[in-house]
């Protein structure tokens, strides 16, 4: 990335793998930071093999680790520990996503590393946080959504909870909710020289964003049943409706002017007073809309509402989204040399999409390079490799003395 990127010159030591932590550090890389991905000398980040086809790393791994560098090292060895200390002394940020206590067992806890680098911003991403009765428990996105009350609220009226395909807790909690305090702490460290210890729990982050549901709970004394709240299909003006070809339209006409425009477009001005109706009246209006939308295929409704400003849109497939003219105009999806899609950063800075350059690293691809920058000469790195403390990939560039 260009040298004038906001985080140019910032070094991130990244102990994360799979999805939440790597997306957090991807944000930092997309903003210009140098992210060094720390991997063990065994399997490394097993995101490489999740959904992989053939010998190539999975597209998932390649997309969330683009532009990073990989150092593969035995963290349990004394020499490996020394390498990490040397690297941390020159770092600005450390991000880890082990269970609580693991970094401490490796003598890589915050107090230990802050003694070597008081400016270090040290962030821990975990399912339930660094303390509390569930701190040591394993979990995944579905578990965090379950504990935070979100999973209970997602789904059709009368049906079982629906599992979202977008990993809400992982991405909202483990990625975005970690990046924000990391950047704030980095700003403070630049001003004062004081680092920070950041504790992010994915389950906390999901609970913290339950704003509408908390309002319903406070008002009614209980959460609304699935499919019965304002934003889950409980009113005719906000929901999904099946079309004649078994596709769906998304209706988000909450405001009165949008709902009235929708009714006029459908030739049903008689429904105009009923957009937010509930109970039997709401059921009647929903059934009327369902019958209208079910009479024509999705393409008909897409064309019908294309120039009508009332928040009625098609429910697109992902394949359709990738060629959508809006996303194309925003340059949200790039194509790799092999034709596979790669999402761009979800922001623009100074009108530019930007983003980390370079492919996702092979395991240990930059071991020599990174250790050279940490002060190890080529002979020292060769010795570490020979003893199995450090792993290098065949494409690993030579070490460069600091």
Active site residue: 34, 45, 170, 229, which one?
170
Q: Exposed/middle/buried for 260, CB within 10 Å: 0-12, 13-18, 19+?
A: middle
Task: Assign residue 248 a region (left: φ > 0; alpha: ψ between -120 and 50; beta: otherwise).
Answer: beta
- Kindly list the distances between the CA atom of residue 73 and the CA atoms of 44, 48, 178, 286, 318, in Å, as whole numbers in the listed order: 10, 17, 25, 59, 38
Tally: H helices and E strands in the chain: 17, 12
Report the run of H or E that residue 201 belongs to, with start and end.
strand 196-201
Report the run of H or E that residue 126 belongs to, with start and end.
strand 121-126
Integer-rounded Cα radius of gyration of the chain? 25
Q: How far apart are the first and last CA of the chain?
A: 22
> Which one, of 192, 172, 195, lies nearest residue 182 by Cα?
195
Residue 295 CA to residue 384 CA, distance in Å, equals 70
Phi first, then psi, for residue 193 (nearest 5°) are 80, 0
> Is residue 140 among the annotated active site residues?
yes
Residue 138 CA to residue 143 CA, distance in Å, equals 9
> Which one, of 374, 366, 371, 360, lies nearest residue 395 by Cα?
366
> Is residue 170 among the annotated active site residues?
yes
Q: Which residues contact 55 (CB under 8 A, 6 or more apart)?
A: none
Active site residue: 40, 79, 140, 228, which one?
140
> Which one, of 40, 33, 35, lies nearest residue 10 by Cα?
33
Active-site annotation, residues: 140, 170
């Amino acid at each position: 990335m260009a040298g004038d990127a906001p985080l140019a010159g910032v070094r991130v030591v990244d102990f994360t793998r799979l999805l939440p932590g790597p997306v957090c550090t991807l944000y930092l890389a997309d903003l210009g930071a140098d992210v060094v991905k720390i991997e063990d000398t065994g399997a490394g980040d097993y995101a490489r093999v999740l959904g992989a086809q053939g010998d190539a790393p999975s597209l998932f791994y390649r997309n969330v680790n683009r532009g990073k560098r990989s150092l593969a090292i035995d963290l349990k060895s004394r020499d490996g520990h020394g390498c990490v200390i040397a690297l941390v002394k020159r770092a600005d940020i450390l991000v880890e996503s082990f269970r609580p206590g693991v970094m401490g067992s490796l003598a890589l806890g915050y107090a230990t590393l802050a003694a070597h680098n008081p400016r270090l911003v040290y962030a821990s991403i975990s399912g339930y946080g660094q303390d509390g009765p569930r701190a040591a428990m394993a979990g995944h996105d579905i578990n965090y959504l379950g504990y935070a009350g979100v999973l209970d609220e997602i789904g059709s009226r009368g049906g079982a909870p629906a599992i979202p395909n977008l990993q809400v807790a992982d991405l909202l909690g483990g990625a975005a909710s970690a990046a924000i305090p990391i950047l704030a702490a980095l700003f403070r460290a630049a001003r004062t020289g004081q680092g920070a210890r950041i504790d992010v729990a994915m389950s906390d982050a999901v609970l913290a964003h339950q704003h509408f549901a908390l309002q319903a709970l406070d008002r009614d004394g209980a959460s609304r049943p699935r499919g019965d709240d304002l934003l889950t299909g409980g009113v005719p003006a906000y929901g999904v409706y099946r079309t004649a070809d078994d596709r769906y339209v998304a209706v988000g006409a909450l405001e009165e002017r949008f709902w009235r425009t929708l009714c006029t477009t459908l030739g049903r001005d008689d429904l105009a007073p009923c957009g937010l109706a509930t109970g039997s009246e709401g059921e009647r209006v929903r059934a009327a809309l369902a019958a209208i939308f079910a009479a024509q295929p999705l393409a008909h409704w897409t064309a019908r509402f294309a120039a009508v400003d009332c928040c009625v849109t098609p429910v697109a497939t992902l394949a359709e989204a990738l060629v959508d003219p809006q996303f194309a105009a925003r340059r949200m999806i790039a194509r790799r040399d092999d034709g596979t899609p790669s999402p761009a950063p979800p922001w623009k800075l100074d009108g530019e999409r930007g983003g980390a350059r370079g492919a996702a690293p092979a395991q240990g691809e930059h071991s020599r390079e990174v250790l050279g920058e940490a002060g190890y000469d080529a002979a020292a790195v060769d010795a570490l490799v020979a003893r199995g403390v450090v792993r290098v990939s065949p494409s690993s560039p030579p070490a460069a003395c600091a």
